[in-house]
Amino acid sequence: MPRPWSAHAVYGTTARVLHWTMAVLILFQATIGIVMTWAPEGSTLAKLSTALSLYDVHKLLGVALLALVLVRLANRIGQGVPAEDPSIATWQAETANLVHTWMYLLLIVVPLLGWLGVSLFPALTAFGITLPALVAPDQKMSEPVFLAHAVAAFVLIGLVVIHVGAALFHAVIRQDGVFRRMWPRDEEA
């Protein structure tokens, strides 16, 4: 992804608020997705999933995340990102860039596949709100689409694990300024 440099050493307030809000929501979203599909029938977890309408929560939260990532990308294009830390090896900066690009891509592809799946099934209603159908219903086609949604979601989760590992490496072991770019001290913001 091209990096339009901003004049600042840290990410802007909007970028930071969106990053941390989305990080928490994605954690919820992935957990809800796994619980609602994997809880054994009749188990306490499955009953809890029904009682909390987890499918409905997942659908609406997923569409909200899609909207948030589009706002985030627009903000990124408008505001730019902090210039690369010169102490970071080129291969590490390139790898980070690649992981960020794929996370952004998957944050668009994963919810779109989920939305496509519920359009095909069809199961577009959540808490009385009916999402617009992306395509005409075709229940058989919903199966491979939901499979693709699950695979893409797990690739995203894998990238998040690598990303969090790298962030903690910078914060705890290398103790450089990388973590502070996303979580600055007051005087740096």
Interface with ligand HEM (CB under 6 A), residue from 18, 54, 109, 110: 110
Torsion sign, CA atoms 36, 34, 70, 82: positive
Q: How far is 161 from 147, CA to CA, in rounded Å? A: 21
Of residues 100 and 174, the one with the C-beta less far from ligand HEM: 100
The reply on whether position 184 binds ligand HEM by CB under 6 A is no
Out of 16, 163, 174, 176, name the contact with ligand HEM by CB under 6 A: 163
Q: Does 146 bind ligand HEM (CB under 6 A)?
A: yes
From candidates 150, 155, 169, 174, binder to ligand HEM by CB under 6 A: 150
Q: Give kind and range of the element (H or E) at residue 125.
A: strand 125-126
Q: What is the DSSP letter of 81?
A: B
Three-state DSSP class for residue 173: helix
Does position 37 bind ligand HEM by CB under 6 A?
Answer: yes
Q: Which two tokens stand for residue 167?
A: 């962030």
**# residues near ligand HEM by CB under 6 A:** 40
The answer to whether 10 contacts ligand HEM (rule: CB under 6 A) is no
Within the chain, strands assigned E span 125-126, 129-130
The torsion region of residue 175 among left (phi > 0), alpha (psi -120 to 50) and beta comes to: left
Give every CB contact of residue 108 below 8 A, 6+ residues apart in sequence. 66, 69, 70
Phi, psi (deg, nearest 5) at residue 5: -70, 140
Question: Considering only residues 12, 33, 120, 184, which one is a binding residue for ligand HEM as defined by CB under 6 A?
Answer: 33
Q: Check binding of 8 to ligand HEM (CB under 6 A).
A: no
Binding part of the chain for ligand HEM, among 42-50, 106-114, 133-141 by CB under 6 A, reads 106-114
Binding stretches for ligand HEM (CB under 6 A)? 19, 23, 26, 29-30, 33-34, 37, 58-59, 62-63, 65, 76, 81, 96, 100, 103-104, 107, 110-111, 114-115, 117-118, 146, 149-150, 153, 156, 160, 163-164, 167-168, 178-179, 181-182
